Amino acid sequence: MPTASALPGLALLPAALAIPLIVLARRRPVLRETWSVLAALAQTAVVAAVLPSVLAGAAPTWRPLELAPGIFLELRADALGTLFALVASALWVATTIYSIGYTRAESEQRLTRYFASFALCLFATVGIAFAGNLLTFYFFYEVLTVAGYPLVIHRQTPEARQAGRVYLLYTLGGGVALLAAVAWTFSLTGTTDFVAGGIGALAGASAPVLWALFGLFFIGCGVKAAVVPLHTWLPVAMVAPTPVSALLHAVAVVKAGVFAFARVTGFVFGPALLHDIGAATALVWLAAATIVLASLAALVQDNLKRLLAFSTIGQLSYVVLGVALGTPAAFAGGVMHLASHALLKITLFFCAGAIAATAHLDRVSQFTGLGRRMPLTLGAFAAAAFMLAGLPPGVAFVSKWRLLTGAVDAGSWVAAGALLASAVLNIGYFAPIVIRAFAPAAPGTPSEVHEARPAMLVPLLCTAAAGLALGLAPDAGGWLLSLASAAAAAVTGPR
């Protein structure tokens, strides 16, 4: 039930205000980083303030401006959007604190641009989460694309610039496809509003038109979501500083892509229509293939960040798989996995960054005995890795269990098989790292305990602990399970 409220718009304000403040404080690093932390905290607080009314079934809606005749800039906090906004904002807090430690340890330059771009990314992410129609969504989606670019090329090495080029080519190319899809949807139906269960007027279009439209949406969302074969940019973008990989390439940017899939399948086409034209099955196959292929690719990586990137590609497609299956359990599981993967993968990236900044190692083959020197970091890594693989009692177990039951409900043995195969493969690529790290060190290597600095260690321990806590009590605080279930019920419930 939409109710007029400025709260969803207010959620954009902290990040928007932080950008000029960060730029003004460019010669005073402490003040600059303070603004970043405060903005992250304020954004989390505003999003959390929306939560009670969303859980009560309301959808606070803010329509400040008419963008084009008949289409408003509309921000609406529904269950799905609030879940995403909450995860992104809370993890922004952790990442900002972690960034302060990491950038000091690595003596990074150009930090004003770095923190300002980060704020702009989170501004865009909240906009994406709360976008109430396709044009508003596209607006923030493109802002996110552009804002992510300075972070990818942050180190300005030739390699980073090459990565930036690949990143822009893929994401802006995907953006053009998305624009075509949005314009076409508007031209077919006369609306761009997200409607839970699908835009009714779309059902009148012929199957070839719907397939073509779905193809455009697939390219538009699939690039950011790194679905095979549109995934190539993500491993290349790992050249960015690790906090960027952690928040953007595990949470904000790539999750914007899978979130887009949730919006398009659940709120533009609707599961029923997608199923009728057969696109749902095609998407399930693509997601299943991505899950298995990415996990296989992760098996052979030596560079830890690239391994995590391939793992991300696989895990993102769990969400795509869930929303494509379209059964209540699968949709809820997919949406939940958006949160659980964010929490666990950011932990893994934090650990990778801590190892790189403290022990100056980035290849798994160099990790022998590292667990004895950095027991807390590697302990958190091991916990997050096994939780992400789906072992109970981690938070990913809860979401993967729902995905699996949803796949069985839908009778999709492809999906169920991919889920089970991937669980084995996950263990297959994470276990050797952990075993190697806790194996006895070769003689002659330093063995004293030398942990990462607290600003890096505390955030990664917190996110790992949160992953465990939400696994033990998935509805702790009454948000994760409730929001995911509410989103699934809105989409799959009787229309």
Q: Which residues are near another protein by CB under 8 A?
A: 65-69, 71, 138-139, 142-143, 146, 153, 156, 161, 165, 168-169, 172-173, 175-177, 179-180, 183-184, 186-187
Neighbour count for residue 88 (Cβ, 10 Å): 29
Report the nearest approach of another protein to the CB of residue 73 (Å): 9
How far apart are alpha carbons 64 and 467 in whole angstroms?
37
Quote the least distance from Cβ 74 to another protein, whole Å: 13
Instruction: Give whichever of 111 and 464 is closer to another protein, judged by the CB atom.
Output: 111
> What gap in Å lies between CA 23 and CA 34, rounded to an integer?
12
Least gap, CB of 245 to another protein (angstroms): 21
Least Cβ distance, residue 235 to another protein (angstroms):
21
> Looking at beta carbons only, is 141 or 381 nearer to another protein?
141
Residues in the chain: 495
Which of residues 209 and 296 has its CB atom nearest to another protein in the complex? 209
Angle of CA points 172, 175, 181, to nearest 5°:
155
Q: How far is the CB of 63 from another protein (least distance, A)?
A: 12
The first and second tokens of residue 215, run together, are 């193809």
Please, what's the b/e burial string for 197-213 (b: 16 or more CB within 10 A of its CB; e: otherwise)? bbbeebeebeeeebeeb
Q: Which residue has the tokens 């060190």?
A: 441
Tell me how far, at minimum, the Cβ of 68 lies from another protein, in Å.
5
Nearer to another protein, 126 or 388 (CB): 126
Query: Which residue, 139 or 401, is less far from another protein as judged by CB?
Result: 139
Closest separation in Å from C-beta 11 to another protein: 18
Q: Minimum Å distance from CB 230 to another protein?
A: 15
The CB-of-176 to another protein minimum distance in angstroms stands at 5
Which one, 176 or 207, has the nearer CB to another protein? 176
Between 184 and 211, whose beta carbon lies closer to another protein? 184
State which residue, 222 or 467, has the beta carbon closest to another protein: 222
Whose Cβ is closer to another protein: residue 11's or residue 490's?
A: 11
